[in-house]
Amino acid sequence: MERTLILDALNATAAQEHITLCGWIRTRRDAKGFCFVELNDGSCLANMQCIVDEGTEAHAALGDANTGAAVQIEGELVASPGKGQRWEVRARALRVFGLADPESFPLQKKRHSDEFLRGIAHLRPRTNKFGAAFRIRSETARAVHDFFHARRFALVHTPVLTGADCEGAGEMFRVTTLPVGATDQTADFFNRQCNLTVSGQLEAEALALGLGRVYSFGPTFRAENSNTPRHAAEFWMIEPEMAFADLDDLMELSESLTRHVVEHVLLHCEADLKLFDSFVDKGLLERLRAMLNRPFARISYTEAVAILTDCDREFTYPVAFGTDLQTEHERYLAEEHFQRPVIVYNYPREIKAFYMRANDDGETVAAMDMLVPRIGELIGGSQREERLDRLTARILELGQEPEDYWWYLDLRRFGSVPHAGFGLGFERLLMMLTGITNIRDVLPFPRTPGSLEF
Ligand code: 4AD
Ligand code: MG
């Protein structure tokens, strides 16, 4: 179907004799002798104002089509005499693809609550806010790929179905073809237990130890029953893994990636970000720009604990060396104490996963988390334990079977090297970029406990 995107039409450098637009009517206003149709096609936030003169074929074809109807409008692109837009279209011909009954169409001109729109997730891409959110989601993904491509990382695809529990937290979705109630797992499809992956890290390590620098960007699944605004059961993670690299290299990578993405969206999503700055999170643009002005903070876990115990803030969860930082602590550090992203490194080994590299102090591991204002943890990663004896001992210490990790341990048996990687939660990144405070609103079709409608 021949058509011009409204995004391109609005950027035209000259008037055009003939243009064809397709989209959905946002509003229709009938005046004396003509009617205004505001058309949106999702290519950008802005609508194209179209004028349909009474008595024309176009006007007859428009009939009583109104908000929500899908139409094609052919006409002339002319300079707009009105305020607010450079161009408008004078319609010559019009075709209605699909009407929307004004009585039952749920998206009315007024502003709707986020809760209401979650209940109509199939229609919310047609609102300004969610159109903008999902365009920013797309641009952010592009920025991530650009970044790694420029640094010569290979994109790898790690399996979604896996027999391993990478994080050791056990919060996994089981996948089975056995009938309900069956107990013999060896009779299952893979002759063993299978889950949806919680992280592609273990496989990414194997790939990094062949390709040098890799990253995966895919869906991950966690059956945490935590109904928070920052957790989803299905979310996307970006997981780079670098061979011949240590914790310092990893911290540098995490900061550069975050900065690159912020810079990219400031450059390429200006109109959409302005919408969030005006209606969702006043000060968003200023905060994003300020992030680029100075280096992120870096402190050890021990220093973080000192800051949290010395401050005069009352926390719900007390802090002491050896406790995991809670969101309230993470946010205090990033939002109030440093007022910018902060990388916390060298966490106590007891609260971290088995694969993290032991530091010489015997107490901490070479882990890092990046904490950002308003969200808390955005990135979690570590240098990996590359010493076979240490890793085997840690697996045994945690009551696990080294045989279950035979291939992972092989990577330490044959040509082991220092290597490091992290996982960045893509939705949390989008929350940071848009000011949206609920993860359900940066995912087109969120999966959270008790919610799987669409
Ligand atoms: O810190 P996590 O659990 O790290 C890992 O899974 C490592 N294996 C990654 C690696 O080193 N390759 O998760 C990484 C990030 C978190 O920092 C957070 O941003 C995000 O994933 N995340 C979630 N995002 C949304 N909903 C959830 N339930 C999330 N759980 C983690
Ligand atoms: Mg983590």
What does DSSP assign to residue 297?
Answer: E
- Closest atom, ligand 1, to C-alpha of 198: 6
Is residue 248 very low, low, confident or very high in pLDDT (cuts 50, 70, 90)? very high
pLDDT band of 51, cuts 50, 70, 90: very high
Q: Whose CA is nearest to atom 24 of ligand 1?
A: 425
First CA to last CA distance, the chain: 29
* Closest Cα to atom 5 of ligand 1: 423
Does pLDDT of 168 surpass 80?
A: no
C-beta 171 within 6 A of ligand 1? no
Average pLDDT, the chain: 96
- 198, 306: one domain: yes
Q: 70 C-alpha vs ligand 2 centroid, how far in Å?
A: 45
The conformation of residue 325, written as its DSSP 8-state character, comes to: P
Q: Kindly state whether residues 100 and 139 are assigned to the same domain.
A: no
Q: Into how many domains does the chain fold?
A: 2
- Other beta carbons within 10 angstroms of residue 229's beta carbon come to 15
CA 226 / ligand 1 centre spacing (Å): 14
Task: Check pocket membership of 376 for ligand 1, CB cut-off 6 A.
Answer: no
| CA-angle at 302, arms to 299 and 304, nearest 5° | 55
Minimum-distance ligand to the CA of 258? 1
Regarding the beta carbon of 205 and ligand 1, being less than 6 Å apart is answered no
Closest ligand 1 atom, CA of 377? Answer: 17
225 or 162, greater pLDDT: 162
The number of beta carbons lying within 10 Å of the beta carbon of residue 285 is: 17
Ligand 1 within 6 A of CB of 237: yes
- Report yes or no on 112 lying in a domain: no
Encode pLDDT of 307-325 as tens digits.
999 999 999 999 999 999 9
Q: Which residue has the tokens 């499809």?
A: 189
The closest-lying atom of ligand 1 relative to the alpha carbon of residue 233 is 28
Take residue 278 and report the two structure tokens written for it: 């005006």
Q: Is the CB of 68 inside a 6 Å radius of any atom of ligand 1?
A: no
Do 200 and 80 share a structural domain? no
Q: In the predicted model, what is the mean pLDDT of residues 272-282?
A: 97
- Domain co-membership, 129 together with 86: no
- On the question of pLDDT at 166 being above 80, the answer is no
Percent of the chain with pLDDT over 90: 94
**Bridge partner residues of 52 (DSSP):** 35
Nearest ligand to the CA atom of 228: 1
- What is the tens place of the pLDDT at every residue in 250-264? 999 999 999 999 999
**The predicted structure's pLDDT at residue 226:** 82
Contact 266, 421 (CB under 8 A): no
Centre of ligand 2 from the C-alpha of residue 381, in Å: 7
Please state the rounded mean pLDDT for residues 267-287: 97
Position 130 in a domain: yes
Percent with pLDDT over 70 in the chain: 100
Task: Give CA–CA dist 401/454, Å, rounded.
Answer: 40
Measured in Å, residue 35 CA sits from the centre of ligand 1 at 52
Note the pLDDT of residue 334. Answer: 97
Residue 113, in any domain of the structure: no
Residues 25 and 148 in one domain: no
Whether pLDDT at 165 is above 80: no
Query: Mean pLDDT across the stretch 2-13?
Result: 96
Nearest CA to ligand 1 atom 17: 379
The protein residue with its alpha carbon nearest to ligand 1, atom 14, reads 423
- The residue to mutate among 162, 166, 172, 199, having the most atoms of ligand 1 within 8 angstroms of its beta carbon, is 199
Report pLDDT digits (tens) over 61-110.
999 999 999 999 999 999 999 888 899 999 999 999 999 999 999 998 88
Can you tell me the distance from the alpha carbon of 267 to that of 255, in angstroms, rounded to the nearest whole number?
18
Question: Domain residues for 59?
Answer: 6-107
Give nearest CA residue, ligand 1 atom 2: 380
In a domain, 144, yes or no: yes
Q: Let me know whether 101 and 135 are in one domain.
A: no
Q: Is 432 a domain residue?
A: yes
Judge if 263 and 296 occupy the same domain.
Answer: yes
Q: Is 118 within a domain?
A: no
Does any ligand 1 atom lie closer than 6 A to the CB of residue 366? no
- Do 69 and 144 lie in one domain? The reply is no
296 located within any domain:
yes
Helix, coil or strand: residue 130: helix
Pocket test for ligand 1, best of 165, 235, 357 (most atoms within 8 A of CB): 235
| Residues 293, 351 within the same domain | yes
**Residues 287-305, mean pLDDT to the nearest whole number:** 97
**Per-residue confidence (pLDDT) for residue 190, from 0 to 100:** 95
**99 and 128 inside one domain:** no
The answer to whether position 454 is within a domain reads no
- Spatial strand order in the sheet of 376-383: 154-155, 213-221, 234-243, 419-425, 376-383, 364-372, 342-348, 297-300
Binding site membership of 425 for ligand 1 (Cβ less than 6 Å):
yes
**Closest-lying ligand to the alpha carbon of 384?**
1
- State in Å: Cα 186 to ligand 2 middle: 32
DSSP 8-state class, residue 151: T
Does 136 lie in the same domain as 91? no
Q: Which of 38-47, 160-169, 274-283, 413-422 bottoms out in mean pLDDT, i.e. has the lowest?
A: 160-169
Domain final position from 80, 107, 134: 107
Instruction: Check whether 185 has a pLDDT greater than 90.
Output: no
In whole angstroms, give the CA distance from residue 7 to residue 18.
Answer: 16
Mean pLDDT of 285-297: 97
Residue whose CA is closest, atom 6 of ligand 1? 199
With cut-offs at 50, 70 and 90, classify the pLDDT of residue 379. very high
Q: Assign residue 59 the CATH number of its domain.
A: 2.40.50.140
Residues 246/366, Cβ–Cβ less than 8 Å: yes
Residue 428 Cα, ligand 1 centroid: separation in angstroms?
10
Residues 276, 451, 108: CA angle, nearest 5 degrees: 45
pLDDT at 169 over 90: no
Q: Which residues lie across from 29 on neighbouring strands?
A: 36
pLDDT digits (tens, 9 = 90+) for 383-432: 999 999 999 999 999 999 999 999 999 999 999 999 999 999 999 999 99
Tell me: pLDDT of 272 over 80: yes
Atom 19 of ligand 1, residue of closest alpha carbon: 425
- Looking at residue 390, which CATH number applies to its domain? 3.30.930.10
The number of the ligand nearest the C-alpha atom of 200 reads: 1
Where a domain ends, among 107, 136, 171?
107
Please tell me whether residues 297 and 410 are part of one structural domain: yes
Q: What's the pLDDT score for residue 110?
A: 83
Please state the rounded mean pLDDT for residues 343-357: 97
Atom of ligand 1 lying closest to residue 429 CA: 19
- Model pLDDT, residue 170: 75
**How far, in Å, is the centroid of ligand 1 from the Cα of 187?**
32
